[in-house]
Chains A and B, each alone.
Chain A
Amino acid sequence: MKFSLSWLKAHLDTDASLDTITDKLTALGLEVEGVEDRGRELAAFRIAHVVSAEKHPNADKLKLCMVDAGTGELVQVVCGAPNARAGIKGVFALPGAVIPVDGSVLKVGAIRGVESRGMLCSERELKLSDEHNGIIELPEDAPVGASFAEWRGLNDPVIEIALTPDRADCAGVRGIARDLAAAGLGTLKPQDTSPVPGSFPAPVTVRLETPGCYQFAARVIRGVKNGPSPRWLQDRLLAVGLRPISALVDITNLFSLDQARPLHVFDAAKLRGDLLLKPTAEGDSFLALNGKEYACPAGLVGIYDDSGMVSLAGVMGGETTGVTEATTDVVLEVALFDPVMIAKAGRALAIDSDARYRFERGVDPAGVVAAVEQATRLILDLCGGEAGETFIAGAEPEWRRTLPLRPSRVAHLGGVDVPEAEQVRILEALGVEVRQDDGRLACVPPSWRADIHGEADLVEEVLRVHGFDQIPATPLPRDVTTPKPALSGTQRRVSLAKRALAARGLLEAVTWSFVPHEVAGLFGQVNPDLKLLNPISTDLAVMRPSILATLIGAAGRNAARGFPDVGLFEVGPAFRDPTDKGQDTVAAGVRAGAAVSRNWAGPTRAVDVFDAKADAVAVLEAAGAPTANLQVTRDAPDWYHPGRSGVLRLGPTVLARFGEVHPSILEALDVAGPVVAFEVFLEAVPAPKKKGGTAKPLLVLSPFQPVDRDFAFLVDAGIEADKLVKAAKGADKALISDVFVFDVYQGSGVEPGKKSVALSVTLQPVDKTLTDAEIEAVAGKVVAAVAKATGASLRT
């Protein structure tokens, strides 16, 4: 919303400075986005007369001009403009002036050996337009030596405010003036809305056959002359960036911006019969004022005459019935439409107009008739003619409502005490009718404030005008000085998982929650309920079923940039379905390239499945999962290498998956392998048992030294090492405290189809030192148990 200072002062009697006004606007919630003060910028530019223009002695295309800028002496200027010639008037800058287009400072110069002491300007140099083919030529009556900005009406600062959607009343300059007056920055000037008598019966009638229009006033004015509008009106429109067109069109634009009330004028000669407002039928079309043909869907509010649709109500008028310079008789339309219907129409046809902007926010439901009178008076003033009687269809809707305000509520909700008398003054200045009612204030908001619905709104009005800066900052009351933890157990796990993974050398990434459809398809069946109906691009179309869907691509992009050794993780959402329970919190990561990069101290090593397994187990450990009890199964989903992947679980509960990423997935994502990955489902980790409080189980240490014994078993190559370990552990649960694999070997010395698995078994005596015989006995049990479980034999 833009307006000029002089326009504001047409409604507000004030001597406040521009800075005071803009500060107050922001404090009122009418946030000033910018002030353009052309007068200040153009202060150095004067109107000048080119007294003579001779050819430059040393250049064919340059001219040597003597210029009278009202300074009492002629100034010599070199000018290259083709239209520079004796007798014209132009805009002149003396040395020291700042040229608006590039901010450069004009200096005394010598051009091809001749001194130049100023500049005749083009429109572009003054940022008036892009015109740069010649210097500005002013009319003969332009006063030499006068300020160009003042003469041209550019010394009027233009203020732009950001309007919040509730303040429909401030979509007109008058509403803004009213707010400023309420805040003590002057007084609101009265407007003349007295009736203009009609001198002939209304020749055009209106029928309403849609609930989308509450009230529609039509008034015929005959014998108008639609020439250019007067200077003051053109200046206002130009100041806010609107092009003056003709008096009648300019008047409708003025009402829209000045009163927040869009009007329309039809050329009466082009209308066939009476007007009818009804819902559009599918396919109804009209040629709009912007020159485009629009075909409407069913159910918008259309304005029809006997020939068909002529206008889209509240959004844009029709070209075929619009006014031109030849127009003599007009139908003035002042109407009130349903905001929801206008918003719907505007969206359906993608038309943004000043009318739509105001109607969809809500135009003052009262005062349709007053606006007819105001507009008629202005048309008669500017275009002459004779007005008929007004035809009014529909009625002003009921808008009066009484809202109670407890004066104590301002302090209780707002935190600042405003005396009751001041509350009443503020509300009345905003147009609210206030009456005392049993200790409360009974308030009737004005018709133009449809946004005031209840006590809280009234409190806001009082606070806003009183000043939010008057509210003292008050610390929140504290029940205790040491509050309870802010994080739940699950939230803490997320935090621990992130820091554990970063501590393992992985970089935390945050990637999109959505992926292309074909990428989602690589990670299981795409759930159609997770496809966005209006994705911003096909790259961001489906909620990701796995974080790997975005992380693997990220690894690939880093490799493409020349950084192939990548370790990334993300803790975030993965989606199974759109319900509340369908979103999992997953800690996922990828490693690509070298696990050990090239170095002088040892060999390099590419990432492998066991890096991913270590990451997954580390997350589970950090999250408090009983990692010693984890089972490993081979049923990882399809996006993992079937032979190099696993699932970590506690019985039926899947806690994590890890493995090499399937080569076909990498190929589809155009990423070079191998890439290893893991996904840990943080919500699946069982919560720690609460019983026993914070105490850990008692640590019992044996005073006797443990004994290690190594065994090498020969076993079928397909047997999993875990089976051997479990069997060995079970051989004597009281004595065996640990079993681990320290070597796996296939090759020379081991028959084909077999492998050698070497186990280290730790015996931990608890009551006495073991004798050799006892050790031998346990070793025998280990060999027997492993042989029984796996068919392994001791390698000799």
Chain B
Amino acid sequence: MSDTVADDSLAPHEPRPARTRRRKAVPALIALVMVGAVVGLVWNLASGSLFFYNADEAVERRDELGDERFTLQGLPIGCSIVEGFQDDLPIVAFSIMHGGVSADIVHFGDPAELFEPDVPVVLDGAWVQSDPDVDGFDGLADDGWYFASDRMRVKHDNDYINDDGYEDRLAESAEQAVVAEACA
């Protein structure tokens, strides 16, 4: 490469045509995304307190909720769990408890991998005014309502210390006395 060529390559380029619109659009887009993130943060914090209803709240607000879809949380009671099929669809019926109040659940579909007694579940669905029609299921609530669920998440705790099996966890549970009485 000659010196001349080197000089040419380093010579100042002709000024590019003005790209005013693009120059304005990029900061505006970034600002929009940032404002959206902050609004999202505020909205999330404001609505975070209503992510799910605990079983006692959902039972109390049953009339108000009607057949509206909502998210429900509670502790599955071991002695109530019955698995089966309805029109070839796997179902699991069980009762959950929170704050000393129980609710009967029929979950349509496979249960979550970690679904087991006394590990809280978070369910999406709606109230149905009827007794659950599941063979062998004897709901603890037995109040003429059940919660028809089609999405289940497991709300495991933060305990990573082993050797605390179901019996130990149940013994530590705040619902212990009510559960023992209900399952007796």
Instruction: Note whether A and B form a binding pair.
Output: no
